A = this chain, B = another copy of it.
């Protein structure tokens, strides 16, 4: 099942074409997106997602997103969804049609099922590989035109990295910077657990700030964990009590194997942190 709602409220058939070939989202990957987890009829972290959409829009010089319209479209998709308690909501916002100075952005919200592989990975964890992202930690601040930290539709590199992982027998990727710092996954943030403290690298190095990572940190803090946002070395991953990938659809997925080497068993920590994350929404 898929539910497609355009930002003006129009409900449309997702199996029919709706996009012109000269939409800059297609022609140039020139647009932005968000993926929101909907669980039991509730969008998780919708406010941070919409804030991040606005931030990405600003970085790409797109018109400021109409916050209320996105909220309405989100509610419409949720209302129409009838295929289980959990799904992913994509919010997509492009620069619109090329060459038309009057062009409005193309904007839609679409509910889609969560891939079985992702559901399984939440339970079983994943093998990951580290891949060089080819950037230095000062680059994002030095060169904003590189759009580091914007969630743009130009994700070909993220997809290519995921295929490289598959070639190496793994299911996911942890990008590293040229100086050996931990960066992010192609579609996730990296969280490291050590001595009852959670770590994630600072967004200032060009990472997309994680809505789920923030929720995990909030839940963990309530459960008595310390949290720190600071640079991590790739070597820290091997010495950690647990390495996790956080994203809306993944929730918190543990990395059991890194670059072919088995990591410390983090099943118990994962169970504890996953419960702490859920408690953010259930209050339990």
Q: Name the interface size band of chain A.
A: 35 or more
Assess whether A153 is in contact with B152, with CB atoms less than 8 Å apart. no
Known: A26-B153, A136-B178. A92 touches B21 (CB 8 A): yes
Assess whether A153 is in contact with B28, with CB atoms less than 8 Å apart. yes
Integer count of this chain's copies in the complex: 2
A178 to B146, CA, bound (A): 13
- In the complex, whether A69 has a CB less than 8 A from a CB of chain B is no
CB distance from A198 to the nearest CB of B (A): 28
Stretch in A39-47, A137-145, A276-284 with 4+ CB within 8 Å of B: A137-145
- In the complex, whether A259 has a CB less than 8 A from a CB of chain B is no
Assess whether B16 is in contact with A19, with CB atoms less than 8 Å apart. no
Assess whether A23 is in contact with B29, with CB atoms less than 8 Å apart. no
A37 to B130, CA, bound (A): 41
A25 to B112, CA, bound (A): 17
Q: Which of B99, B147, B161 contacts A156 (CB 8 A)?
A: B147
Residues from chain B with Cβ under 8 Å of A83 in the complex: none
Give A75-119 as 1s and 0s: 1 = Cβ < 8 Å from B's Cβ atoms: 000000000000000101010000100000000101010010000
Q: What is the interface of chain A, defined by CB distance below 8 A to chain B?
A: 2, 4, 14-31, 33, 59-61, 90, 92, 94, 99, 108, 110, 112, 115, 131-136, 139, 142-147, 150, 152-161, 163-164, 178
